Amino acid sequence: MKIAVLVKQVPDTWGVRQLDLETGRVDRNASDRVIDEVGERALEVALTIKDSTSDAEVVVITMGPSQSVDALRKALSMGADSGVHILSDALVGADMLCTAGALAAALRGQAFDLILAGNESTDGRGGIVPAMIAELLGMPALLELDSIDITPSQVSGMRGADHGTVSVHTPLPAVVSVSERTPEARFPSFKGIRTAKKKPVAVQIAEPAALASSVVLTTTSRAARSAGRIVTDDGSSAAASELVQYLADRRLI
């Protein structure tokens, strides 16, 4: 089984996010850069399959600037077999459709049985790229799975719905995105860190003719948070009335 895992290098999930006010894009130098957490969870799904299947191959793919190779090396140290880095200056500011097109081009013709991704990136929150990739590749898609089960012929799982859960399944090959309810990713072992440097990473240059990007027209910094209003309870009903009126004025009740 050949499995592709899509990962993205993002500003530290637990750090402060900042915009570059000149470009309107995320300032990726304002904090440490890491693999998106839900992307690591997708990788964990793939590595779990590899642990139980002798013929499984895991290829991790990312799109981004030159420093994104660090994300690939981290994934390789966790147990992936090889990496693909989609690199082009023209990709700066790529929107979701452009991103999906570049990733689909890298995946097309590679005979992957399963394409795994996180349900959404923490620096974009679009949540639609896996579905776009499935459409571009003509594959079925199972999205936002909370649990996943894979056999040589099909993938199945559970995902949340408005009034409970839904059981879904589809034959392979397929595109699957997982949620943060799937298991946490493993830590790289010392042996994995050493061997990661020897594993192959292919660089693919995206074709400029196929690219398009969104343009931010104006930006402004977020205003500092003002001090909250304190309602003092003196034992009478006045505090409760004041609180109710405060919430009603803001249409919160």
pLDDT tens per residue, range 76-90:
999 999 999 998 777
- Token output for 79: 């147990």
The model's pTM:
0.82
State the helix-helix crossing angle for 37-52 and 69-78, rounded to 10 degrees.
40
CA nearest neighbour of 9 among 61, 80, 48: 61
- End-to-end CA distance of the chain, in Å? 54
User: What is the pLDDT confidence band of residue 174, given thresholds at 50, 70 and 90?
Assistant: very high
Report residue 207's pLDDT band, with 50, 70 and 90 as the boundaries: low
Tell me the backbone φ, ψ of residue 72, rounded to 5 degrees: -65, -45
CA distance 178 to 155: 12
Determine the pLDDT at residue 74.
95
Q: Is the separation of the CB atoms in 182 and 45 below 8 Å? A: yes
Mean pLDDT for all residues in the chain = 88
CA distance 195 to 101: 32
Q: Quick check: 210 pLDDT over 80? A: no
pLDDT for 160 beyond 80? yes
Instruction: Collect all residues with Cβ–Cβ distance below 8 Å to 207 and sequence separation of at least 6.
Output: 105
Distance CA 42, CA 75 (A): 11
> What pLDDT, in 10s, does the model give residues 176-186?
999 999 999 99
Residue 123 has pLDDT above 90, yes or no: no
Q: Which DSSP helix (H) or strand (E) runs through 86? A: strand 82-87
